[in-house]
């Protein structure tokens, strides 16, 4: 654990990226006890400034001594940079909360969603992993269902926004949309196909069995976070032309039957989950409404009439906040409690 203090020296690594910017914003919004904030990014951002609590903080680049005196470092700089610098930070006495996939399946590194498995934080050895954005919002819904009726199997299809790929992908969607509406040639640089007015059933690289790395992240991370390797998970992940917020259609098979009303009650009582479910009034979670919000929204809760014990749900969450930056800051908050 981080030694208890009145305030802490905090670093954000990858501060100029979409998630890094959200981390800085959320630290301020939630009044995290920051005595000093240090911001790190690539060489091209060196010397630029970012605002925090009315001050302008100069962006630095990393070296072997960068983490001396830092208590907590929030990493959002990609897997390779994390593999290079997270151990350096840990050796300096800093606790790293890493948003990349580099450490998630390392058996020595806890993979944490604070509402689901906060107890795992205590076994860290200097690095704590932040799960995949789509996994986070799904396990927030699975946890109360699992505790009440034990989850046996999950079938999930995701509809993931382009902000999950980063700023360049958001720019590509905007540019392609403008070009299409103005009858100009479409250029594809971030994605292998046009993303504007399209859906790509392809997130991350394909594996030999036909699944993608993104799909297997959801399979493996869910089991690790839930602490139950017997849960069977299958996923199809799809990139959609939405700027922000990921949506998921999830089918959950349980050991004990839950009615739709029982499931709604369980979900409504779980911290960080909002049940938004009145389809007869066209009330269900939408990416445009959930963007900028911290909670995980659930709707279209209904019993699966094809099996004896099954529930279908529709889940939407802001992938930059609860799916990444907010979850990392919440881990840091637990660390200092």
**Token digits of residue 103:** 């450490």
Could you read off the pLDDT of 5-14 as tens digits, one per residue?
889 999 999 9
What is the model's pLDDT at position 5?
83
Percent of the chain residues past pLDDT 90, beyond the cut: 97
pTM of the model: 0.95
Query: Which residues on neighbouring strands pair with residue 309, listed in sequence order?
Result: none
Q: Which long-range contacts (CB under 8 A, 24 or more apart) does 88-93 make?
A: 88/64, 89/11, 89/126, 90/125, 90/126, 90/127, 91/126, 92/67, 92/68, 93/67
Per the CB < 8 A criterion, the answer to whether 54 and 34 are in contact is no
pLDDT tens-place string over residues 202-213: 999 999 999 999
| pLDDT interval class at 269 (50, 70, 90) | very high
Tokens of 291: 């963007």
Which tokens go with 80?
Answer: 């390779």
The answer to whether 32 touches 333, Cβ cutoff 8 Å, is yes
The residue among 3, 21, 4 whose CA lies nearest residue 13 is 21
92 vs 68: CA distance, rounded Å: 6
Q: Which of 94, 124, 133, 146 is catalytic?
A: 133
Q: Give Cβ neighbours of residue 240 (< 8 Å, ≥ 6 apart).
A: 159, 160, 161, 199, 200, 247
Q: What are phi and psi of 306, to 5 degrees?
A: -95, -10
Tell me the pLDDT tens digit for each residue of 157-184: 999 999 999 999 999 999 999 999 999 9
**Alpha-carbon distances of 185 from 22, 192, 201, rounded to whole Å:** 33, 15, 23
Active site residue: 94, 124, 146, 246, which one? Answer: 246
| pLDDT score for 1 | 62
Orientation of helix 260-268 relative to helix 133-149, angle to 10°: 120
Backbone phi and psi for residue 59, each to the nearest 5 degrees, phi listed first: -75, 135
Beta strands 127-129 and 49-52 are unpaired
Residues 112, 331 contacting (CB under 8 angstroms) = yes
Phi and psi angles of residue 300, each rounded to the nearest 5 degrees, phi first: 50, 40
Distance in Å from the first CA to the final CA of the chain: 9
**pLDDT above 70 for 151:** yes
271-304: pLDDT as tens digits: 999 999 999 999 999 999 999 999 999 999 999 9
The mean of the pLDDT values for the chain is 97
In the annotation, is 246 catalytic? Answer: yes
CA–CA dist 245, 323 (Å, integer): 9
Which tokens hold the place of 31? 């009044």
Residue 3: pLDDT band by 50, 70, 90 thresholds? confident
Residue 119 appears among annotated catalytic residues:
no
The residue behind tokens 């990393």 is: 62
Residue 246 CA to residue 261 CA, distance in Å, equals 25
CA separation (Å) from 146 to 165, 250, 251? 30, 14, 13
Locus of tokens 């098979």? 253
Tens digit of pLDDT for each residue in 85-116? 999 999 999 999 999 999 999 999 999 999 99
Please name each of the domains of the chain with its CATH number: 8-131+324-336 (3.40.50.720), 135-319 (3.30.360.10)
* 22-58 residue pLDDT tens: 999 999 999 999 999 999 999 999 999 999 999 999 9
What single string gives the DSSP state of each residue in 247-280? EEEEEEEESS---HHHHHHHHHTSTTEEE--BGG
The Cα–Cα gap between 78 and 22 comes to 15
């Amino acid at each position: 654990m981080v030694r208890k203090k009145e305030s802490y020296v905090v670093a954000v690594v990858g501060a100029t990226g979409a998630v890094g910017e959200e981390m800085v914003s959320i630290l301020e919004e939630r009044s995290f006890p920051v005595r000093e904030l240090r911001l790190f990014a690539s060489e091209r951002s060196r010397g630029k400034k970012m605002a925090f609590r009315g001050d302008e903080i100069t962006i630095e680049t990393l070296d072997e001594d960068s983490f001396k005196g830092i208590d907590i470092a929030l990493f959002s700089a990609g897997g390779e940079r994390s593999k290079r610098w997270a151990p350096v930070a840990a050796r300096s006495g800093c606790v790293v909360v890493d948003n990349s996939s580099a450490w998630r399946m390392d058996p020595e590194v806890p993979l944490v969603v604070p509402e689901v498995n906060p107890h795992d934080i205590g076994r860290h050895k200097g690095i704590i992993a932040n799960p995949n954005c789509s996994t986070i919002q799904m396990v927030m819904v699975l946890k109360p269902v699992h505790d009440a009726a034990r989850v046996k199997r999950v079938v999930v299809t995701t509809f993931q926004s382009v902000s999950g790929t980063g700023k360049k992908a958001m720019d590509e969607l905007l540019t392609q949309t403008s070009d299409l509406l103005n009858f100009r040639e479409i250029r594809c640089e971030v994605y292998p196909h046009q993303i504007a007015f399209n859906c790509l059933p392809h997130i991350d690289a394909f594996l030999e069995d036909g699944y993608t790395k993104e799909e297997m992240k959801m399979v493996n991370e869910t089991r690790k976070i839930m602490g139950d390797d017997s849960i069977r998970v299958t996923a199809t992940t799809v990139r959609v032309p939405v700027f922000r917020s990921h949506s998921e259609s999830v089918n959950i098979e349980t050991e004990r039957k839950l009615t739709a009303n029982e499931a709604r009650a369980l979900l409504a009582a779980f911290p960080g989950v909002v049940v938004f479910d009145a389809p007869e009034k066209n009330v269900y979670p939408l990416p445009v409404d959930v963007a900028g919000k911290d909670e995980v929204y659930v709707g279209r809760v209904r019993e699966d009439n094809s099996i004896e014990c099954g529930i279908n749900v529709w889940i939407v969450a802001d992938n930059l906040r609860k799916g990444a930056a907010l979850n990392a800051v919440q881990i840091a908050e637990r660390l200092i409690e």
